[in-house]
Amino acid sequence: MASWRRVGELIAHNMVFIVPLCLVLGVCLPDTFAALKPLVTSMFAFVTFQGSLGNNFSNLARIFKRPAPMLVAIAISQVLMPLIGWVLGGLLFSDPNIVAGIVLEYSVPIAVTSTMWIGIYAGDMSLALGTLLISTLISPVTIPTTLRILVGATVQVDAAGMFFDMLVMIALPAFAATALNQATQGRVKTSLSPALAPLARIFVILVITTNSTSLHDFIFNLTPELACVLVFIAFMASSGYIWGFAATRLMHLGREQAVTLTFCSALRNISAGAVIAQAYFPAATMFPVMTGTLFNQFLAAVFGRVFSRTFTPEADENGLRATGADTRQPEASRPARA
């Protein structure tokens, strides 16, 4: 069991190196890993279940009683970022379809994959689940409204499909894990969760690799303009972490909530954007949306490493007292749990 746990710790410590390798393998060997696509939902549900084993219903209630971090994350991800993308994209690119793709990329809800990274870097899973839930539920209104106001486009959103995905990958496994932790009075958090963590992290690697297979055609058919779009999306994706991090400092949040708010501010549900782009926009609009796949997971690994070193125990203690959150401190020097 000790060796098995060390496998999980090894993966968590080296995600910043593992993720680029996953992206390269997915892009270069799409036929090999595309076969895993039918399993992505199940793997993701398992990751959510394992990451929620330390949760309880009182924590979920606390999030909705003190919703400021959740509301700030949603404001950054679905108001500020689309506006910045529209302004800067309009200045840099003459093709309105590319600008529309940039706006769409940052109008979609928070990524389900945010829970994977929040679990790896010991964030507040209750806050993550609540924020993801609200972000997804309001997206059928926020996406069409944002596109209509900023680019004059009228689209429809598959609300039922998005809700079903969230139900299967997030809500049901999270509820089951939370109920199990509550019923065992926290025993599964110290017994079952560490035993499942290595497998959950292996599934994270497989999910990242499988999702990156959709980038094969784009990467091998780059033009100078599309290369500029790549650089711009990398900048935008990075800025989401900066905005989220700045907000945590201004709000004096403890480490767990700070990590969660930052990841939720930056990670996007690219699959939802790709479906909308394919259904309602020209092909050029798809490229900025799908480009986010290239940076979503890599930057999560990079900034996750930065956060694990930046939020010191002293800062965490002060922040936790200020917010009235759980006073237990995760180790700031490394990912403490999944």
Q: What is the pLDDT of residues 257-312, one digit of tens each?
A: 999 999 999 998 877 777 677 678 887 788 888 788 778 888 888 888 787 766 54
110-136 mean pLDDT: 84
pLDDT of residue 112: 76
Tell whether the model's pLDDT for residue 316 goes beyond 60: no
C-alpha span between 93 and 248 (Å, rounded): 32
pLDDT of residue 311: 52
pLDDT of residue 58: 80
Q: What is the pLDDT of residues 57-88, one digit of tens each?
A: 887 788 888 899 999 999 999 999 999 999 99
pLDDT of residue 7: 86
Which residue did the predictor score with more confidence, 12 or 46? 46
pLDDT of residue 310: 64
Backbone angles phi, psi at 104, to 5 degrees: -60, -45
Name the token pair of 73: 């994350």
* Averaged confidence pLDDT in the chain: 81
C-alpha span between 49 and 170 (Å, rounded): 8
Determine whether domain 12-323 maps to CATH 1.20.1530.20.
Answer: yes
Q: pLDDT above 90 covers what percent of the chain?
A: 22
Name residue 38's amino acid.
P
C-alpha span between 291 and 30 (Å, rounded): 16
Q: What is the pLDDT of residues 139-162, one digit of tens each?
A: 888 888 898 899 887 666 676 776
Which residue did the predictor score with more confidence, 105 or 166? 105
Helix ranges, the chain (H): 2-13, 15-28, 30-34, 40-51, 57-65, 68-75, 81-92, 96-105, 114-120, 125-151, 159-166, 172-183, 187-190, 192-211, 216-219, 224-251, 255-266, 270-280, 283-310, 313-323
* Residue 92 CB neighbour total at 10 angstroms: 14
Q: What is the pLDDT of residues 24-57, one digit of tens each?
A: 898 899 889 888 888 888 887 898 888 788 777 8
3-state secondary structure of 250: helix
Domain positions in the chain: 12-323
Closest among 268, 294, 214 to 104, alpha carbons compared? 268
The model's pTM is: 0.74
Q: What is the pLDDT of residues 247-256, one digit of tens each?
A: 999 999 988 8
C-alpha span between 301 and 285 (Å, rounded): 27
Residue 118 — very low, low, confident or very high, per pLDDT cuts 50/70/90? confident
C-alpha span between 245 and 55 (Å, rounded): 24
Residue 138 — very low, low, confident or very high, per pLDDT cuts 50/70/90? confident
3-state secondary structure of 268: strand
